[in-house]
Amino acid sequence: MSGQILKGQSVPLPFRAESLRFEAAWSKQSKEPVDLGLDCCLLAKTGAILGFAGNGHTSTAAGAVTSQASLAGQASSCDTFLSC
């Protein structure tokens, strides 16, 4: 059953990392600023995928929180935090 994600099972870190990278790329393409910041590390450590929200903004499936923050540097800082 390797490769399958069962209900209630935590999602492997590489999958979460790819999800966050995809989310950042998608937001950049759709011109929506995204503030990943320290939340990347938090999400990677806690395994939170859904239900994460901050600053009154709604979370996406990958847990990235949309905000008015500039996109500049966010994707690279996310990669840094994901390796923590």
Q: What is the pLDDT of residues 51-84, one digit of tens each?
A: 344 433 444 444 444 433 334 344 445 544 444 4
pLDDT of the residue at 68: 34
pTM: 0.17
66 backbone dihedrals φ, ψ, rounded to 5°: -75, 145
pLDDT tops 50 at residue 35: yes
DSSP string, 32-56: --EE-TTHHHHHHHH---SS--BTT
